[in-house]
Amino acid sequence: MGTRHRDRMDQNSANLAYAEAAYDAGIIPRRRIGRPPRGGSQIVTDTIIAVATRLFLTEGYASTNMDAVANRSGSSKRTLYARFPSKAALFEAVVRTFVKTKVREVKIALLMEGTLEEILVAAGERILRSTLDPDGIALHRVIIAEAPRFPDLARIIEESAQPAVDFMHEIFRGAKARGEIACTAEIDPLVRMFASIVHCRPLQDALLGADPAVIAAQAERDIRNAVKLLLDGCRPAR
């Protein structure tokens, strides 16, 4: 076996290991690991995004370059640029993929059976864990640092998170149709208040350097109390 062939095999093994670690960390959604099916190339794209995510998180946007992404993902620069024509496009794809992965986790929590209060508490705790995930905090710091250079980032994040927001609306509308809540207020403010409680304040504290364990302990109490308070104002009169 020639040296070049062995090097290629070693690189391929490293790429698959890198992708597997990214799946386990929740950086990219899990798909079958191994050689892509004939005509398929999603594993190549996923590996590129996984490698780029790790580089952006550890090196920052400015210090990450496309050559490093191509080298570590085992892709040629032609393959890389065919999928992502610029570092900016790759960064936007990383943000979009990361948010969509977290959204899927939240939707799973919302699918649980139980009362509206139980569902909201479970979803809130899932959102809290996602918010305090070290990679999530690191990515938010990169996003904030690069926001002036990427005016579309806010839109990308909002669009990527919209399925979870829509699903939350459905949860509240369903509860209202079943008579669990009878509020006359619009559903959208309820969803935004819930998101603010379980995501915005904990994220702000984490970005400012507070201990995630301390944030989580306080936020878990806040979630239960806030959900109860929110629903107490919406329950039908007895």
Contacts of 114 (CB under 8 A, 6+ apart): 122
pLDDT digits (tens, 9 = 90+) for 68-82: 999 999 999 999 999
Domain 90-232 has CATH 1.10.357.10: yes
Of 180, 188, 169, which Cα lies nearest the Cα of 123? 169
pLDDT of residue 185: 66
pLDDT digits (tens, 9 = 90+) for 163-189: 888 888 888 888 888 888 877 667 888
**C-alpha dihedral, 214 to 216 to 217 to 220, nearest 10°:** 160
Mean pLDDT over all residues of the chain?
A: 81
**Where does the chain hold its CATH 1.10.357.10 domain(s)?**
90-232
| Angle CA 217–223–228, to nearest 5 | 140
- The predicted model gives 85-93 an average pLDDT of 95
Rounded Cα distance between 123 and 111, Å, is 9
| C-beta contacts of 151-158 below 8 A and 24+ residues apart | 152/92, 153/92, 153/95, 156/92, 156/95, 156/96, 156/99, 157/95, 157/99
Phi and psi (nearest 5°) for 38? -55, 130
pLDDT of residue 94: 95
- The predicted model gives 218-226 an average pLDDT of 89
Rounded Cα distance between 13 and 213, Å, is 36
Where residue 113 falls among pLDDT bands split at 50, 70, 90? confident
DSSP string over 90-155: HHHHHHHHHHHHHHHHHHHHHTS-S-HHHHHHHHHHHHHHHHT-HHHHHHHHHHHHHGGG-TTHHH
Contacts of 237 (CB under 8 A, 6+ apart): 182
Which string of b and e fits 198-216 if b means at least 16 CB within 10 Å?
bbeebbebbeeeeebeebb
> Are 228 and 117 contacting, i.e. CB atoms less than 8 angstroms apart?
yes
Neighbours of 171 (CB within 10 A): 18
Where residue 18 falls among pLDDT bands split at 50, 70, 90? very low
Of 192, 200, 194, 196, which Cα lies nearest the Cα of 131? 200
> Are 52 and 61 contacting, i.e. CB atoms less than 8 angstroms apart?
no
Where residue 232 falls among pLDDT bands split at 50, 70, 90? confident
